[in-house]
Each structure stands twice: as C-alpha cells, then as structure tokens.
Structure 1
Amino acid sequence: MTFEKMIESMTPEVYQSLRRAVELGKWPNGERLSQEQRETSLRAVIAYEHTHKVAENERVGYIDRTRPDGQQHGVDPLQPQTLKILSDG
C-alpha cells in the first residue's frame, strides 16, 4: 500500500489518534514516539488534512491571527510590515 492510498483510506479515528500522538509525543499506551515516528506521523496528519479538506482553523499548526476587534494581524506574514516609531518629544 502506498502512502497516498493509506492516507485516502485512513479513518477519522486513526487521524485523531495520530494527531494526539504527535501532540503529546507518545502513543496511547504511553510509549514515547521516536523522532522518526513523530516525523512520519506528522506527515500523515498533514497529508490527511490536505486530502480530506480539513478546515484551515482546525489543522495542525494553525495560528489564529484574529485581534479582539475582529481584524487580522499581519494578513500575509511574508509581506513586510511598516513599523512606526513614536518619540516622546
């Protein structure tokens, strides 16, 4: 079975279990994930989210950039932002 086929056939329960394992760094039985297991599991979680169209705000690594007033902080984080320096004088 290829990686892509595995992702397509992955159930939501398996996805949630892998996601939780990556977040905690350990399997449900308490055993720690090796670095390789963590990387592979994270890759599978990201691929699942992309393949199954998981909402952006529910994806691993999502950062909410909404201010309390509803506006967005840094709409495009790759674009430069203007910095204003205010002086006391």
Structure 2
Amino acid sequence: MDVNQLLEAITPEVYQRLSYAVETGRWPEGQTLTQAQRDSCMQAVMLYQSKHNTEAQHMTVAAGGDIAFKSKSELKRQFQAQQEDIARFKVSESEA
C-alpha cells in the first residue's frame, strides 16, 4: 500500500484509535502494542496529521507537513478561550 492509499484508508475514527494506541501503548480494547506496531501507528498518525490537521496543537504535525509548536502564552490564550465557552453554574450559599 502506498502513502496515498494509506491516507485515504484512515478515517477520523481510525485516526483516533491509532492516536490512542501511540499515546498509551495499548489498543482501546486493552491489548499491548509491540514496538513495531507502535512505530507504524506513529507514522500513520503523523501522515494523517500532515494532511488533515488544520488546527495543530502544541508539538504536532500541521497540515502541509510542518511541525507546529505553540508557545506557552499561545496555549494559555487558547485554554482561556475554551474555558469561556464552558457553561458556569453559580452555587448558592445554601448548597455550599
């Protein structure tokens, strides 16, 4: 299978499974990956990210194959913006 065929075969769901496997060293079902499997999964994840990752996180491969690094201040701004989107509930004094 060539690289283009591999990229076409990786769906977002497959990407999530591969990414989980790389991060944890296990498949979502719990089986441990061999080092060769983990290496192959990592290559597939990086290839997928190089084509589809338009909003790269800190230290990932962005669309086009560039490695994306975000500074600490950029990450703080991103997380603060996400926190503002989360609904907040005020606890009344009688519940506290």
TM-score scaled by length of structure 2: 0.59
1:14 maps to what in 2? 14
User: Is contact 1:22-1:38 (8 Å) kept?
Assistant: yes
Distance in 2 of aligned mates of 1:33 and 1:21: 7
- State the 1:21 CA deviation: 0.8
State the aligned residue count. Answer: 70
In the alignment, the residues of structure 2 paired with residue 67 and residue 6 of structure 1 have an alpha-carbon distance, to the nearest angstrom, of: 36
- The 5 Å alignment of 1:1-89 reads 1-57=1-57, 59=60, 64-67=70-73
Deviation track 1:6-63 (CA, whole Å, cap 9, x = no partner) reads 1123100000110011101001221111111001000000000102244222737965
- Structure number with higher strand proportion: 2
Aligned AA for 2:24? L
Query: Is contact 1:8-1:51 (8 Å) kept?
Result: no
**TM-score in terms of structure 1 length:** 0.62
Aligned to 2:28, what secondary structure does the other structure show?
coil
Please give the alpha-carbon distance, in whole angstroms, between the structure 2 residues aligned to 1:38 and 1:54: 24
> What's the % identity of the aligned pairs?
36
* Unmatched tracts of structure 1, length 5 or more: 71-89
- Consecutive unaligned residues of structure 2, counting only runs of 5 or more, are 62-66, 78-96
Q: RMSD of the TM alignment (CA)?
A: 2.7
